[in-house]
Structure formats: C-alpha cells, structure tokens
Amino acid sequence: MRKSHPVRRTVLAGAATVSGIVLLLSLKPASDPGSASAAGGAAPPVAAQSPQGGRDAGAGTVTGDAAGTQYGPVQVRLTVSGGKITKAEAVQAPKGGQSDRVTADAVPRLNQAAVAAGSADIDAVSGATYTSAGYVKSLQSALDKAAAAAGSGAAEEGSGTGAGQGTQVLTGDAAQTQYGPVQVRVTVGAGRITDVETLQAPKGGRSDQVTADAVPKLERAAVAAGSADIDAVSGATYTSAGYRQSLQSALDRAGG
C-alpha cells in the first residue's frame, strides 16, 4: 500500500478548510433585504445602522420616514459622518411603467443634491415633481432623526433671552378642510422659522393641481413672515386656511 506524502496531506487539509469557510459565508443571510430594491446606489454598510446617541452619534446611517406620493412611497437613507451628509440613497421610490424611467433619472440627481447641500433645501428635478417632493420630505425626517440622535450637539448655543433653546422641529395638528387634511411641520432655530414642510395636503383630481401650486407658496410665505399671519393663495382658500391653522398649532408648541 502506498504511503501518503506529508505535503500532500497538508495541501488537502488546507483546501478542505477554505471550502468550509466559503460554504459558511454563502449561507449567511442578507443583512438588509429591502436594499435590493433601493434606487440610486448600493446599500450602505451594515455597521452603525442608526446613530442612536452615544459618543458616535454624529456618524452612521439613518433612514427617514417613507413619504407617500401619488405614484408610490419615497424613502431616503443617509450616511452621516462628522456632522455632514456623506451619502444619500433612496431605499424606496416609485416604480412600474413610466415611473421606472422617472425614478432612474431623478433619484441619482436628488442623491447628489442632498450630499452637496447638506440639507433638505434642494430643488425638484424637472419632470419628477411628486418624487422630488417625497424625497425632500423623507430626507428632512432623516435629518431630524440624526439631529435628535446627536442630542446636545444639534442645539444652537445662544446668549441672553432664549439661550439654549436650540433648534426645534415641531409638527402641527392636522387641520381638516372640505377637500382633505392639511398638516405642517416647522423647523424653528434661534427664534425664527427656518424651514416649513407640508406633511398632508388635499389630493386627488383637481386638488392635486391646487396643492402643487399653493403649498410651495404657503411654505415660502411662512418662512418669510416668521408666523402664521400669511395671505391665502388665490384659488386655494380652503387649503390656505387649513395650512395656517396647522402652522399656528406647530408654532404654539414652540412657544409662539
């Protein structure tokens, strides 16, 4: 009977070990099944999935709330490092039919704009108004979560009256109108309105056109006025009234 050569036995043992490792890795489940359908880039690292407090609260990934649109939900995930957005991606976006082409064109642009701006103050992509609006809404909620996780690091320091109030993100009550609810979220910093977004507004049929025209005007007016004392938009009387009502309730929570 032939003797096995010691070197040959060593090679065979090493090959078996490598094969075992490869097999184990192939059986490991995916860490984020939903990332397979994400638009606009690969899934972020699994580590530091959400910056929930602690010493590393300023770094990691955070996912905004899904924002419903006429063509489907939009949801944004951010990677934040050193207090800055280093990566943005849409983990949900409208799909099917014409939406596939719109999403493929708009989402990468929105991702780039979010990273460049470092905020939700980005322009809508032409031809993708609803997707852009949903993206901005989810992006803002992700930024709100990141700021909350950062804790005191998100607050603005001041002196004199109102010192230490920092930045507040406040959601007003949903105001019912004849054509549907209107709800507003306000960002207040240093005693001023710095951003306003509409979480709910009338939709369906003629309301879609009215909302698309009126809401951006109302948002700009609220920031400019710094209060709920804003004029109604012509042709959108009910929406304007509901907007002011929800805006005032949000400001009431901020102490006026």
pLDDT digits 0-9 by tens, 147-161 = 877 753 433 333 233
How far apart (Å, rounded) are the C-alpha atoms in residues 205 and 3? 85
Instruction: Find, among 114, 112, 113, 92, the residue nearest to 103 by Cα.
Output: 92
Residue 39 in this model has a pLDDT that exceeds 50: no
pLDDT at 191 over 70: yes
| Contact criterion met (CB below 8 Å) for 102 and 128 | yes
Write down the pTM of the prediction. 0.41
Q: Is the pLDDT of residue 134 over 90?
A: yes
Across the beta sheet with 60-63, what order do the strands follow? 60-63, 75-81, 84-92
Q: What is the pLDDT of residue 6?
A: 55
* Average of per-residue pLDDT across 12-40: 41
Question: Do residues 183 and 246 touch, judged by C-beta distance below 8 A?
Answer: yes
| Higher-pLDDT residue of 125, 160 | 125
Cα–Cα distance between 131 and 122 in angstroms, integer? 13
User: What is the mean predicted confidence (pLDDT) over 116-141?
Assistant: 93
Q: List, in sequence order, every beta strand (DSSP E) within the chain.
A: 60-63, 75-81, 84-92, 167-171, 183-189, 192-200
Give every CB contact of residue 117 below 8 A, 6+ residues apart in sequence.
none
Q: What's the whole-number mean pLDDT along residues 39-52?
A: 33
pLDDT at 203: 86
In which band, very low, low, confident or very high, does the pLDDT at 74 lie, cut at 50, 70 and 90? very high
| Distance in angstroms (rounded) separating the CA atoms of residues 113 and 122 | 6
Widest CA span in the chain = 100
- The three-class DSSP label of residue 231 is coil
Candidate ranges 59-68, 88-97, 187-196; pick with highest mean pLDDT: 88-97
> pLDDT band for position 106 (50/70/90)?
very high
Highest mean pLDDT among 30-44, 120-134, 142-156: 120-134
Lowest mean pLDDT among 45-54, 131-140, 151-160, 203-212: 45-54
CA distance 226 to 195: 10
Q: What is the mean pLDDT of residues 224-241?
A: 91
